[in-house]
Amino acid sequence: MEHYTMNLTLKVWRQKNSQDKGRFETYEVKNISSEMSFLEMFDVLNEQLIAEGKDPIAFDHDCREGICGMCSMYINGRPHGPWQHNTVCQLHMRAYKDGDTIVVEPWRAKAFPVIKDLVVDRSAFDRIIQAGGYISVNTGNAVDANAIPIEKEKADAAFAAAACIGCGACVAACKNSSAMLFLSAKVSHLALLPQGEPERKTRVLNMVAQMDKEGFGSCTFTEACEAVCPKGISVTNISRLNKEYLVAGLTEDKR
Amino acid sequence: MIDSKIPPGPLDQKWTYYKGHCKLVNPANKRKLEVIVIGTGLAGASAAASLGELGYQVKAFCFQDSPRRAHSIAAQGGINAAKNYQNDGDSVFRLFYDTIKGGDYRAREANVHRLAEVSVNIIDQCVAQGVPFAREYGGLLSNRSFGGTQVQRTFYAAGQTGQQLLIGAYQALERQVALGNVKMYSRHEMLDIVIIDGKCRGVICRNLVTGELERHFGHAVLLCSGGYGNVFYLSTNAMGSNVTAIWKAHRKGAYFGNPCFTQIHPTCIPVSGDHQSKLTLMSESLRNDGRIWVPKKKGDTRKPNEIPEDERDYYLERRYPAFGNLVPRDVASRAAKERCDAGYGVGSSKQAVYLDYAAAIIRYGKIECGKQGITNPTEEQIRTLGKQVVKEKYGNLFDMYQKITGEDPYEVPMRIYPAVHYTMGGLWVDYELMTTVPGLYALGEANFSDHGANRLGASALMQGLADGYFVIPYTIGNYLADEIRTASISTDHPAFVEAEKQVSDRINCLMSIQGKQSPESFHKRLGKIMWDKCGMARNAEGLKQAITEIQELRKEFWSDLRVTGTIHEYNPELDKANRVADFMELGELMCIDALHRNESCGGHFREESQTEDGEAKRDDANFSYVAAWEWKGDSQWQLHKEELHFEVAKPSQRSYK
């Protein structure tokens, strides 16, 4: 790839804490290499701010290889920026050219309150998992791993759903702030496997109830979530979730 | 003398003996006992979940926003287990032997044998949890090969094995949170341990959102905080991975085992410039099908696809015909460095070698054509079908490479170079995973125990889960059985007050320096010293220089650091300053350890100690021991030795030729 450098204007959301109202601030960065990642460009900006004695911009990030799900920037109106199937940490500056203006915001959803600047609280996702996103098997009472053969197609589909990294881009992209893609990925992963069968009905009912309690919106199936998902989780999982929910709701004994 | 508490009996009976004779805690008493777990990667999450299931009251802490994000998640290739599902001659003994040999005879036999024994249970447990491992069409589990072995024993889930295993452990953990057995503290960092009457009784943590310090009591504390490869600044570790938890424990009396043993992984994406913040691994599984080469001609500037077959040097296949591209990591890394140093490197920096998939694409393409009954296929057909097979096996890795470099690895060979990946060193632990501080344990990468001087691929996941699921639930009972009469100690105890004051004083000190340089800039400079002088090749002179340079850098740090923001808010700069301060002390100890170990073994390559053909030369007569360092004050350590006894796997010169 041909290497080049660029000067950019950044409009970044600054918010001191969850009570602060927040506002955009404008920064200039110079001589940014096209080989940098987007977050490395933010590192440069932050070092610049520190040198000027200003407060650097807080943003979540950790593995920087697209798998931990921690990074979460809403760039020019799109979660994780312009590239398909991508996280911010894997977005590289060759996506931009000299003179570009880039607007960066946090995930915006009632269920994801801002902690500071671009950092939000996504613990609602953990609580949805706590409501049933697991198979109840204590350590030590498993049978031999090959005792239950699983059709390759089903195993592959379960894997495709399990590839969700829990970043929350689906919620950020949704006009209703719905968490249906996240939830459906987990429900599908476990419902497709024979190990998930015993808790299949209670799982989906309890997880949906928790999602509603957390303040996520409803799904109107615009498919914006799939379009921005870094792992390409398909909305067919939402269809499966709806089926699972319906069947469970109709057949589960009232408690 | 330090006692490793290895049980009596023949090697393959020790763990069985231990399990039959260790003390147990009855369910009513478990409910009264509190356990603290630091870190929620594979070791921490599996330990917290398993101990919660047993009925202990568990508190788990992680610095990330969710336990699911711990860096175990980034492990790509797979997890080893001696299942012998492939009928290719594998066994518990083979896995044990490969691990001891791969570690260049610097690990403890009894621990490694136990690891091989429980490896089979791990796969069962994970499948029961719903971990979607790769399967064959018959519905049974699939395996692949990894470096340093001649059998196929690696289980995998595409290139995301770590993620799937961690999600399994995370779900088990969240289930225990829902049941009330585990209380989870995210965005919390442990900043000290608390010792009362000689036993570890709790921790001081900082809530990273509010900046408040918190005191937490536990009858025992488990450090599962991972490795310290970030001491080199550039590594494949996550940005937040740090040494702080185990370093604080070290300063409070836990010995540090083999600190200099660092694994440099051979297949990473090369550095592209000064802005680089981390390095990205390309899974070792790529060496299954990819061929590594450099041009035969020095300084060849032709594009890789223009270099004809007979002008390429497949140096691993040439030097190590028996293992070829699947030699262990340390051997592959040094061989790449040797070619680049000799002037055969490729790419703009000349610090890279090619990892080529062209041959594999053709090979798989031909097989697919055969399967589909295509006679006389065109080259295009072969390539298209071959690419599909490679995509299925390694697709996400190829995508990642393309995103970072902008090059298409299906068409041009990938450029790779070694990078810091894993630290075999860590807190010294005995057979029960207890450190030299009673009641304080270290699990997973945070301890030094199972990989000797070099870890084999797909063994880190195995060790993390072995420690958490299958070892600590037994060994912690053996300690806690004697603690059932110890009531919870109030966190108003003077030891808690004193520990919190020390932490608070240090934070105030960091904030009050008000100098000019950022924590990041110090970290970069430390990393450069470490990589240049304590990296892939080390010599006495360089190490001595490094020690002096680190001491000077530390002085500069404590006089010219600038931390912006305030204490009582979300302040990542302060978090980073705390971590960098600890890395500097650790860096010095690593150099001291590397200097004292005047032999080459595994990932530790001393230039003074090599064979005629440039292979690492061990010195068993003088260095067949674990170096366990005791903190004695600033820049002062005392060396303790745990002699290693090999009763079954007799040490020999490692050969992969």
Report ipTM (2 d.p.): 0.98
For B85, the closest of A17, A146, A189 (CB atoms) is A146
Please give the average per-residue pLDDT across B184-212, as a whole number: 98
Are residues A128 and A211 both part of a single domain? yes
Chain A residues with CB inside 8 Å of B127's CB? 142, 145, 148, 195
Which of B42, B84, B171 to substitute to test the interface with A, most A CBs within 10 Å? B171
A15-49 pLDDT, tens digit each: 999 999 999 999 999 999 999 999 999 999 999 99
Are residues A100 and A128 both part of a single domain? no
pLDDT exceeds 80 at position A65: yes
Q: Which CATH architecture has domain B265-420?
A: Alpha-Beta Complex (3.90)
For B127, the closest of A61, A122, A142 (CB atoms) is A142
Contacts of B376 (CB under 8 A, 6+ apart): none
| Residue with tokens 């937040």, as numbered in its chain | B240
Q: Which two tokens stand for residue B200?
A: 């570890």
Beta bridge pairs of residue B144: B154
Report if residue A34 sits inside a domain: yes
Verify whether the Cβ–Cβ distance A130 to B186 is below 8 Å: no
pLDDT exceeds 60 at position B566: yes
Chain B residues with CB inside 8 Å of A15's CB? none
Verify whether the Cβ–Cβ distance B280 to A60 is below 8 Å: no
Are residues A217 and A184 both part of a single domain? yes
Please give the residue of chain B at the shortest CA–CA distance from A112. Answer: B65
Please give the average per-residue pLDDT across B322-342, as a whole number: 92
Shortest distance between the Cα of B576 and any Cα of chain A, in A, equals 12
Fold of B513-621: Methane Monooxygenase Hydroxylase; Chain G, domain 1 (1.20.58)
pLDDT exceeds 80 at position B120: yes
Q: What is the CA radius of gyration of chain A?
A: 21
For B175, the closest of A17, A134, A144 (CB atoms) is A134
| Residue with tokens 């530390």, as numbered in its chain | B554
What pLDDT is recorded for position B395? 86
Q: In chain A, pLDDT over 90 holds for what percent of residues?
A: 96
Q: Please, where in chain B does CATH 1.20.58.100 lie?
A: 513-621
What pLDDT is recorded for position B613? 85
Report if residue A142 sits inside a domain: yes
What pLDDT is recorded for position A1? 61
CB A233 within 8 A of CB A181: yes
What pLDDT is recorded for position B45? 98
Task: State the CB neighbour count (10 A cutoff) for residue B555.
Answer: 11
Shortest distance between the Cα of A89 and any Cα of chain B, in A, equals 10
| Residue with tokens 């894993």, as numbered in its chain | B422
pLDDT exceeds 90 at position B393: no
Active site residue B329: yes
Rounded to a whole number of angstroms, the distance between the first and last alpha carbons of chain A is 61
What pLDDT is recorded for position B148? 79
**Nearest 5°: phi and psi at B565?**
75, -165
Residue type for position B49: A
Alpha carbons within 13 A on the beta-carbon side of B496: 16
Question: How would you classify the pairing of strands B188-196 and A101-105?
Answer: unpaired
Verify whether the Cβ–Cβ distance A92 to B406 is below 8 Å: yes
Verify whether the Cβ–Cβ distance A142 to B138 is below 8 Å: no
| Residue with tokens 């010219």, as numbered in its chain | B560
For A47, the closest of B85, B125, B518 (CB atoms) is B518
Please give the average per-residue pLDDT across B290-310, as a whole number: 95
Verify whether the Cβ–Cβ distance B130 to A123 is below 8 Å: no
CATH number at residue A53: 3.10.20.30
Shortest distance between the Cα of B396 and any Cα of chain A, in A, equals 10
Please give the average per-residue pLDDT across B333-350, as a whole number: 93
Tell me which CATH homologous superfamily contains domain B26-261+424-480.
FAD/NAD(P)-binding domain (3.50.50.60)
Are residues A32 and A99 both part of a single domain? yes
Verify whether the Cβ–Cβ distance A62 to B67 is below 8 Å: no
The backbone region for B610, taken as left when phi is positive above 0, alpha when psi lies in -120 to 50, beta otherwise, is: beta
What pLDDT is recorded for position B272? 87
Are residues A11 and A68 both part of a single domain? yes
Please give the average per-residue pLDDT across A94-115, as a whole number: 98
Q: Measured between alpha carbons, how far is B445 from B425 in angstroms, rounded to an integer?
A: 8
User: What is the DSSP-derived secondary structure letter of residue B269?
Assistant: P
Are residues A41 and A98 both part of a single domain? yes
Please give the average per-residue pLDDT across A168-196, as a whole number: 98
Mean pLDDT over the full length of chain B: 96
Are residues A48 and A157 both part of a single domain? no
Q: Which residue among A50, A71, A105 closes a domain? A: A105
Please give the average per-residue pLDDT across B416-434, as a whole number: 97
CB B65 within 8 A of CB A122: yes
Shortest distance between the Cα of B272 and any Cα of chain A, in A, equals 7
What pLDDT is recorded for position B122? 98
Q: Which residue among A105, A136, A161 closes a domain? A: A105
CA angle B446, B447, B448 (to 5 degrees): 125
Please give the average per-residue pLDDT across B317-341, as a whole number: 93
CATH number at residue A179: 1.10.1060.10
The H-or-E segment that residue B4 falls in is none
Report if residue A217 sits inside a domain: yes
**Total number of domains in chain A:** 2
Q: Please, where in chain B does CATH 3.90.700.10 lie?
A: 265-420
Shortest distance between the Cα of A246 and any Cα of chain B, in A, equals 23
pLDDT exceeds 70 at position B532: yes
| Residue with tokens 């690895």, as numbered in its chain | B409
Please give the average per-residue pLDDT across B137-165, as a whole number: 92
What pLDDT is recorded for position B348? 84
Q: Which residue among A105, A133, A151 closes a domain? A: A105
B436-485 pLDDT, tens digit each: 999 999 999 999 989 999 999 999 999 999 999 999 999 999 999 999 99
What pLDDT is recorded for position B158? 85
Chain B residues with CB inside 8 Å of A141's CB? 128
What pLDDT is recorded for position B146? 83
Please give the residue of chain A at the shortest CA–CA distance from B465. Answer: A139
Q: Which two tokens stand for residue B71?
A: 């860096």
Are residues A156 and A88 both part of a single domain? no
For A64, the closest of B172, B278, B521 (CB atoms) is B278
Report if residue A131 sits inside a domain: yes
Please give the residue of chain B at the shortest CA–CA distance from A89. Answer: B404
Shortest distance between the Cα of A116 and any Cα of chain B, in A, equals 7
Are residues A88 and A134 both part of a single domain? no
Please give the average per-residue pLDDT across B558-565, as a whole number: 97
What pLDDT is recorded for position A255? 54
Q: How confident is the model at residue B624 (pLDDT cuts 50, 70, 90)?
A: very high
pLDDT exceeds 80 at position A224: yes
Are residues A204 and A139 both part of a single domain? yes
Please give the average per-residue pLDDT across A176-187, as a whole number: 98
Report if residue A43 sits inside a domain: yes
Are residues A127 and A240 both part of a single domain? yes
Residue type for position A19: Q
Chain A residues with CB inside 8 Å of B570's CB? 17, 58, 115-116, 119
Report if residue A117 sits inside a domain: no
Q: Which of B108, B201, B329, B415 is catalytic?
A: B329
Rounded to a whole number of angstroms, the distance between the first and last alpha carbons of chain B is 39
Taking Cα atoms as reference points, which of A187, A216, A206, A220 lies closest to residue A252? A206
Verify whether the Cβ–Cβ distance A70 to B158 is below 8 Å: no
A37: containing domain: 5-105
Please give the average per-residue pLDDT across B72-87, as a whole number: 95
Are residues A146 and A91 both part of a single domain? no
**3-class state of residue B155 by DSSP:** strand
pLDDT exceeds 80 at position A116: yes
pLDDT exceeds 80 at position A253: no
Chain B residues with CB inside 8 Å of A40's CB? 275-277
Please give the average per-residue pLDDT across B102-131, as a whole number: 97
